[in-house]
Amino acid sequence: MSPGEGILLGIVQALTEFLPVSSSGHLVLAEYFLKIHTPGIAMEVVLHLGTLISILVFYFSELKKLVIDFFTNRDPAGRQMVWALVIATIPAVIVGLGFESKIDAFFSNAVLVSAALIFTGFVLFSTRFIKPGGTDNILMVSALAIGVAQAVAIIPGISRSGMTISVALILGISNITAARFSFILAIPALLGAGILKLNEALQLTSNISAGAIIGGFFSSAVVGYLVIGLLIKLISRDKFWLFSIYCWMIGLIGLSLTVT
C-alpha cells in the first residue's frame, strides 16, 4: 500500500466515522460491489487511532474539565456527565462482546446493510421535526437510551453518530450537548476496539509500509478534526436531518443492485 492510498483511506475513515452515514455500511457495500478488500486489521487500528486523536484534540479542554470535576466534585454537572458517559458505554460493551460472531455475519450481507442505511435515514429525518432548544443536562435514563442506540449502531449500515445524536435530540437534549456527548462517547468505543485488535494488528504491520501508516494516521486525525467542527455547525443550524437524504439514496441504490 502506498502513502497516497493510506491518506485516502484516512480521509474516508474520518468522513464516514463522524458524519452520520455509517462507515461500516460503506465498507460492506464497497467490498460487495467494487470488490475492494480492506488492507487488513493493522490499518484499521491505525485509522481508528487517528480519529480517536481528533476527538481528544477537539474536546481537550472539556475532557480536562470533566476529569477535574469528577475527582474534585468542583462542578456536580461535570461529574454527572462522566457517569452518564459510563452508563451510555455499557450497552455497546455487552452487545459487542456478547454477540460478536453474530454481528460479524452482517458484514457479508449487502441487502441487510442497504436496509440499515435506509433505517438510519428515517431516524435522521425524524430530527427535522424537533423544536430548537433543549436541555444541557443528561439524565441517567437518557444516557442509557443513547447507549442502547450506540449498541444498535454496531450493526453495519446503522450510523453510530447518527443514532446517538438523533436519540439525544429526540429526548430533548440541546443540539451542541447532543453532539458533544456523542463524540466524547466515541472515545471508549474507538479505544476499546483498538485494544481488542491491537495484538492481531501488531502481527500484520509488516504488510503495510511506514508511509501508508503515517499518511493514514495523520489524514484521519486532521480530517476527523475538521469534520467534527463541520457537523457541529450543521447541527447548530438544525440541518442534521439533511444526511437522511444521502442515507436513503445509498441504501436504495444498494437494494436495487442486490435484490434485482
How do residues 39-78 score in pLDDT, each as one tens digit? 555 667 778 888 889 999 999 999 999 888 888 877 888 8
Tell me what the pLDDT averaged over the chain comes to. Answer: 82
pLDDT band at 199 (very low <50, low <70, confident <90, very high): low
| Phi and psi angles of residue 86, each rounded to the nearest 5 degrees, phi first | -65, -50
Q: Is 173 helix (H, G, I), strand (E, B) or coil?
A: strand
List beta partners, residue 173. Answer: 135
Residue 139 is given by DSSP the state -
Q: Which three cell numbers stand for residue 180?
A: 458533544
Check if the beta carbon of residue 115 is closer than 8 Å to that of residue 164.
no
Query: Could you give the percent of the chain with pLDDT greater than 70?
Result: 80
Query: What is the residue range of 170's domain?
Result: 3-259
Residue 107 confidence (pLDDT): 61
Mean pLDDT, residues 146-171 taken together: 91
Number of domains in the chain: 1
Looking up cell 447532543, which residue turns up? 178
The confidence score (pLDDT) of residue 100 equals 61
Residue 250 has pLDDT above 70, yes or no: yes
Better-predicted residue by pLDDT, 143 or 210? 143
Tell me the C-alpha distance between 113 and 109, whole Å.
6
* Cα-based distances in Å from 254 to 111, 160, 228, 246, 247: 7, 20, 27, 12, 10
Using DSSP, state whether 43 is helix, strand or coil: helix
* Tens digits of residue pLDDT in 122-143: 999 999 988 877 888 899 999 9
Angstrom distance (rounded) from CA 43 to CA 46: 5
Is pLDDT above 60 for 34?
no
Measured in degrees and rounded to the nearest 5, phi and psi for residue 137 equal -95, 120
